[in-house]
Protein backbone atom coordinates (compact mmCIF):
# COMPACT_ATOMS: atom_id res chain seq x y z
CA UNK A 1 0.00 0.00 0.00
CA UNK A 2 1.33 3.43 -0.93
CA UNK A 3 2.35 5.64 1.95
CA UNK A 4 0.82 9.02 2.70
CA UNK A 5 3.99 10.74 1.53
CA UNK A 6 3.95 8.86 -1.76
CA UNK A 7 0.28 9.73 -2.21
CA UNK A 8 1.03 13.41 -1.75
CA UNK A 9 4.00 13.18 -4.08
CA UNK A 10 1.68 11.75 -6.72
CA UNK A 11 -0.38 14.90 -6.47
CA UNK A 12 -3.35 13.39 -4.60
CA UNK A 13 -4.35 15.44 -1.55
CA UNK A 14 -6.10 13.81 1.43
CA UNK A 15 -9.89 14.30 1.48
CA UNK A 16 -9.71 16.51 4.57
CA UNK A 17 -7.39 18.94 2.81
CA UNK A 18 -9.61 19.03 -0.26
CA UNK A 19 -12.66 19.78 1.89
CA UNK A 20 -10.84 22.61 3.65
CA UNK A 21 -10.22 24.24 0.28
CA UNK A 22 -13.87 23.99 -0.75
CA UNK A 23 -15.60 27.20 0.25
CA UNK A 24 -19.27 28.01 -0.33
CA UNK A 25 -19.83 31.26 -2.20
CA UNK A 26 -22.76 33.50 -3.10
CA UNK A 27 -23.16 31.36 -6.21
CA UNK A 28 -23.89 28.43 -3.90
CA UNK A 29 -26.89 30.24 -2.43
CA UNK A 30 -28.71 30.03 -5.75
CA UNK A 31 -28.49 26.25 -5.65
CA UNK A 32 -29.58 26.17 -2.01
CA UNK A 33 -32.58 28.39 -2.81
CA UNK A 34 -33.52 26.09 -5.70
CA UNK A 35 -33.26 23.09 -3.38
CA UNK A 36 -35.54 24.75 -0.83
CA UNK A 37 -38.15 25.37 -3.52
CA UNK A 38 -38.07 21.72 -4.57
CA UNK A 39 -38.66 20.72 -0.95
CA UNK A 40 -42.26 21.95 -1.30
CA UNK A 41 -43.22 18.71 -3.09
CA UNK A 42 -41.84 16.66 -0.23
CA UNK A 43 -43.80 18.71 2.31
CA UNK A 44 -46.99 18.22 0.32
CA UNK A 45 -46.44 14.45 0.18
CA UNK A 46 -45.97 14.30 3.94
CA UNK A 47 -49.24 16.21 4.48
CA UNK A 48 -50.97 13.93 1.99
CA UNK A 49 -49.73 10.91 3.94
CA UNK A 50 -51.28 12.33 7.12
CA UNK A 51 -54.56 12.91 5.33
CA UNK A 52 -54.67 9.39 3.84
CA UNK A 53 -53.88 7.82 7.22
CA UNK A 54 -56.73 9.77 8.85
CA UNK A 55 -59.22 8.91 6.08
CA UNK A 56 -58.33 5.22 6.27
CA UNK A 57 -58.58 5.23 10.07
CA UNK A 58 -62.10 6.70 9.89
CA UNK A 59 -63.14 3.90 7.54
CA UNK A 60 -61.61 1.34 9.90
CA UNK A 61 -63.43 2.90 12.87
CA UNK A 62 -66.75 2.61 11.04
CA UNK A 63 -66.11 -1.12 10.61
CA UNK A 64 -64.89 -1.47 14.22
CA UNK A 65 -61.38 -2.52 13.17
CA UNK A 66 -59.63 -1.16 16.25
CA UNK A 67 -56.25 -2.77 15.59
CA UNK A 68 -56.21 -1.16 12.15
CA UNK A 69 -57.07 2.22 13.68
CA UNK A 70 -54.15 1.86 16.09
CA UNK A 71 -51.78 0.92 13.27
CA UNK A 72 -52.86 3.93 11.24
CA UNK A 73 -52.41 6.18 14.26
CA UNK A 74 -48.84 4.89 14.42
CA UNK A 75 -48.42 5.68 10.72
CA UNK A 76 -49.63 9.23 11.35
CA UNK A 77 -47.12 9.63 14.17
CA UNK A 78 -44.36 8.49 11.81
CA UNK A 79 -45.45 11.15 9.33
CA UNK A 80 -45.26 13.77 12.07
CA UNK A 81 -41.75 12.59 12.98
CA UNK A 82 -40.65 12.76 9.33
CA UNK A 83 -42.16 16.23 9.00
CA UNK A 84 -40.22 17.43 12.06
CA UNK A 85 -36.96 15.97 10.75
CA UNK A 86 -37.53 17.48 7.33
CA UNK A 87 -38.36 20.87 8.83
CA UNK A 88 -35.11 20.75 10.80
CA UNK A 89 -33.10 20.01 7.68
CA UNK A 90 -34.87 22.78 5.81
CA UNK A 91 -34.15 25.26 8.61
CA UNK A 92 -30.47 24.25 8.55
CA UNK A 93 -30.30 24.98 4.82
CA UNK A 94 -31.94 28.38 5.34
CA UNK A 95 -29.46 29.22 8.09
CA UNK A 96 -26.61 28.09 5.86
CA UNK A 97 -27.89 30.29 3.05
CA UNK A 98 -28.13 33.33 5.36
CA UNK A 99 -24.65 32.75 6.77
CA UNK A 100 -23.10 32.68 3.29
CA UNK A 101 -24.87 35.90 2.32
CA UNK A 102 -23.60 37.53 5.53
CA UNK A 103 -20.03 36.73 4.48
CA UNK A 104 -19.32 33.88 6.88
CA UNK A 105 -16.61 31.52 5.62
CA UNK A 106 -18.00 27.99 5.35
CA UNK A 107 -15.84 25.19 3.96
CA UNK A 108 -17.84 22.14 5.02
CA UNK A 109 -21.57 22.27 4.36
CA UNK A 110 -22.25 18.86 5.94
CA UNK A 111 -20.55 19.73 9.23
CA UNK A 112 -22.29 23.12 9.35
CA UNK A 113 -25.77 21.65 8.75
CA UNK A 114 -25.22 18.80 11.22
CA UNK A 115 -24.08 21.21 13.92
CA UNK A 116 -27.07 23.50 13.33
CA UNK A 117 -29.47 20.53 13.29
CA UNK A 118 -28.07 19.18 16.56
CA UNK A 119 -28.44 22.58 18.21
CA UNK A 120 -32.03 22.90 16.97
CA UNK A 121 -32.91 19.40 18.17
CA UNK A 122 -31.53 20.17 21.64
CA UNK A 123 -33.56 23.38 21.84
CA UNK A 124 -36.71 21.59 20.66
CA UNK A 125 -36.20 18.75 23.13
CA UNK A 126 -35.83 21.25 25.97
CA UNK A 127 -38.98 23.13 24.93
CA UNK A 128 -41.01 19.93 24.67
CA UNK A 129 -39.70 18.24 27.79
CA UNK A 130 -43.00 18.86 29.60
CA UNK A 131 -45.32 18.59 26.62
CA UNK A 132 -46.76 15.62 24.74
CA UNK A 133 -44.90 14.79 21.55
CA UNK A 134 -47.84 14.50 19.17
CA UNK A 135 -50.83 16.12 20.85
CA UNK A 136 -49.71 19.62 19.94
CA UNK A 137 -49.81 18.77 16.23
CA UNK A 138 -52.90 19.86 14.27
CA UNK A 139 -53.01 16.68 12.20
CA UNK A 140 -53.00 14.49 15.32
CA UNK A 141 -55.74 16.53 16.99
CA UNK A 142 -57.75 16.30 13.77
CA UNK A 143 -57.19 12.53 13.66
CA UNK A 144 -58.51 12.07 17.20
CA UNK A 145 -61.48 14.34 16.58
CA UNK A 146 -62.54 12.59 13.37
CA UNK A 147 -62.22 9.14 14.92
CA UNK A 148 -64.42 10.30 17.80
CA UNK A 149 -66.97 11.82 15.43
CA UNK A 150 -67.49 8.50 13.63
CA UNK A 151 -69.58 7.16 16.53
CA UNK A 152 -70.26 10.34 18.55
CA UNK A 153 -71.28 12.98 16.03
CA UNK A 154 -73.33 15.07 18.46
CA UNK A 155 -71.17 14.55 21.55
CA UNK A 156 -68.28 16.63 22.83
CA UNK A 157 -65.01 14.71 22.79
CA UNK A 158 -63.50 14.51 26.30
CA UNK A 159 -60.01 15.84 26.93
CA UNK A 160 -57.14 13.37 26.94
CA UNK A 161 -56.86 13.56 30.74
CA UNK A 162 -53.07 13.96 30.92
CA UNK A 163 -52.73 17.72 30.61
CA UNK A 164 -49.86 19.38 32.45
CA UNK A 165 -50.64 23.05 32.84
CA UNK A 166 -51.25 25.66 30.20
CA UNK A 167 -48.48 24.42 27.91
CA UNK A 168 -50.45 21.34 26.85
CA UNK A 169 -52.72 21.30 23.87
CA UNK A 170 -56.07 19.82 24.92
CA UNK A 171 -57.51 17.57 22.27
CA UNK A 172 -61.15 18.45 21.92
CA UNK A 173 -63.23 20.65 19.69
CA UNK A 174 -60.50 23.23 19.27
CA UNK A 175 -61.82 26.62 18.34
CA UNK A 176 -59.76 27.01 15.20
CA UNK A 177 -61.14 29.64 12.85
CA UNK A 178 -61.97 28.31 9.42
CA UNK A 179 -62.56 31.79 8.03
CA UNK A 180 -59.97 33.63 6.00
CA UNK A 181 -58.81 36.76 7.88
CA UNK A 182 -58.82 38.66 4.58
CA UNK A 183 -62.24 37.67 3.20
CA UNK A 184 -63.93 36.82 6.56
CA UNK A 185 -65.68 33.85 4.92
CA UNK A 186 -64.76 30.16 4.91
CA UNK A 187 -61.35 29.40 3.43
CA UNK A 188 -61.20 28.69 -0.28
CA UNK A 189 -58.14 26.73 -1.39
CA UNK A 190 -56.32 27.61 1.87
CA UNK A 191 -52.58 28.26 1.91
CA UNK A 192 -50.39 28.66 4.98
CA UNK A 193 -47.13 30.49 5.61
CA UNK A 194 -44.21 28.24 6.48
CA UNK A 195 -42.75 31.00 8.63
CA UNK A 196 -45.61 32.30 10.78
CA UNK A 197 -48.26 29.58 10.15
CA UNK A 198 -50.97 32.13 9.31
CA UNK A 199 -53.47 30.88 6.73
CA UNK A 200 -55.40 32.63 3.96
CA UNK A 201 -57.62 31.87 0.99
CA UNK A 202 -55.23 31.51 -1.91
CA UNK A 203 -56.93 34.02 -4.22
CA UNK A 204 -57.04 36.66 -1.45
CA UNK A 205 -53.38 36.50 -0.43
CA UNK A 206 -52.22 36.25 -4.05
CA UNK A 207 -54.16 39.41 -4.85
CA UNK A 208 -52.38 41.21 -1.99
CA UNK A 209 -49.00 39.98 -3.21
CA UNK A 210 -49.73 41.33 -6.68
CA UNK A 211 -50.74 44.69 -5.22
CA UNK A 212 -47.85 45.13 -2.78
CA UNK A 213 -45.10 43.03 -4.33
CA UNK A 214 -43.21 40.25 -2.60
CA UNK A 215 -42.05 39.57 -0.08
CA UNK A 216 -44.61 41.64 1.82
CA UNK A 217 -45.31 41.90 5.57
CA UNK A 218 -47.80 39.34 6.86
CA UNK A 219 -51.22 41.07 6.91
CA UNK A 220 -52.02 39.69 10.36
CA UNK A 221 -51.62 42.49 12.96
CA UNK A 222 -48.62 41.96 15.22
CA UNK A 223 -46.88 39.45 12.95
CA UNK A 224 -43.32 40.44 11.98
CA UNK A 225 -42.80 37.76 9.31
CA UNK A 226 -42.81 38.38 5.57
CA UNK A 227 -44.81 36.47 2.98
CA UNK A 228 -44.07 35.50 -0.61
CA UNK A 229 -45.28 32.79 -2.98
CA UNK A 230 -42.29 30.67 -2.00
CA UNK A 231 -43.20 30.73 1.70
CA UNK A 232 -46.79 29.55 1.15
CA UNK A 233 -47.92 25.93 0.92
CA UNK A 234 -51.30 24.39 0.18
CA UNK A 235 -52.89 23.33 3.47
CA UNK A 236 -54.71 20.07 2.72
CA UNK A 237 -55.67 19.55 6.36
CA UNK A 238 -57.35 22.94 6.61
CA UNK A 239 -59.12 22.43 3.28
CA UNK A 240 -60.44 19.12 4.55
CA UNK A 241 -61.79 20.74 7.72
CA UNK A 242 -63.59 23.39 5.67
CA UNK A 243 -65.08 20.72 3.44
CA UNK A 244 -66.44 18.84 6.46
CA UNK A 245 -68.02 22.02 7.83
CA UNK A 246 -69.71 22.65 4.50
CA UNK A 247 -71.01 19.08 4.43
CA UNK A 248 -72.39 19.39 7.97
CA UNK A 249 -74.09 22.69 7.12
CA UNK A 250 -75.61 21.15 4.00
CA UNK A 251 -76.88 18.17 6.01
CA UNK A 252 -78.41 20.43 8.67
CA UNK A 253 -80.13 22.47 5.98
CA UNK A 254 -81.49 19.29 4.43
CA UNK A 255 -82.72 17.98 7.80
CA UNK A 256 -84.47 21.28 8.56
CA UNK A 257 -86.19 21.24 5.18
CA UNK A 258 -87.43 17.68 5.70
CA UNK A 259 -88.66 18.59 9.22
CA UNK A 260 -90.73 21.50 7.94
CA UNK A 261 -92.19 19.40 5.16
CA UNK A 262 -93.37 16.78 7.66
CA UNK A 263 -94.84 19.27 10.16
CA UNK A 264 -96.61 21.17 7.40
The pLDDT of residue 164 is 42
Do 186 and 235 belong together in one domain?
yes
Do 97 and 201 belong together in one domain?
no
Residue 121 or 95, more confident: 95
22 pLDDT tier (thresholds 50, 70, 90): low
**Over the stretch 215-234, which tens digit does the pLDDT of each residue have?**
999 999 999 899 998 888 88
Do 110 and 62 belong together in one domain?
yes
Number of domains in the chain: 2
The pLDDT of residue 122 is 63
The pLDDT of residue 21 is 52
**Residue 6 domain-assigned?**
no
Task: Identify the weakest region by mean pLDDT among 3-17, 59-73, 79-93, 151-165.
Answer: 3-17
Residue 225 or 101, more confident: 225
The pLDDT of residue 142 is 84
**Residue 8 domain-assigned?**
no
Arithmetic mean of pLDDT over the chain: 76
**Residue 10 domain-assigned?**
no
**Residue 163 domain-assigned?**
no
Do 192 and 127 belong together in one domain?
no
Looking at 152, 185, 215, the residue that finishes a domain is 152
Do 41 and 133 belong together in one domain?
yes
**Residue 167 domain-assigned?**
no
The pLDDT of residue 95 is 80
**CA-to-CA separations, 176 to 73, 102, 113, 166, 179, in angstroms, rounded:** 22, 39, 35, 17, 9
Mean pLDDT comparison of 9-18, 51-60, 78-87, 122-131, highest-scoring range: 51-60
In which domain, by residue range, is 123 found? 19-152
The pLDDT of residue 31 is 76
Q: How far apart are CA 151 and CA 77, in angstroms?
A: 23
The pLDDT of residue 227 is 92
255 pLDDT tier (thresholds 50, 70, 90): low
| pTM of the full structure | 0.57
59 pLDDT tier (thresholds 50, 70, 90): very high
Amino acid sequence: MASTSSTRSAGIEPAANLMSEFELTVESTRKITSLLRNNEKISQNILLGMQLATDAACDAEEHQLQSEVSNLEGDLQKCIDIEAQFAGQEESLKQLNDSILEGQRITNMVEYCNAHRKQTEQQTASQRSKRPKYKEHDAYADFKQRIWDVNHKDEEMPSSGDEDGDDDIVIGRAKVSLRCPLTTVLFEDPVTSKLCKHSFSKHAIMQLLRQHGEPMPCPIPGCDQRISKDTLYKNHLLAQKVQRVKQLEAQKSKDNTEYHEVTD
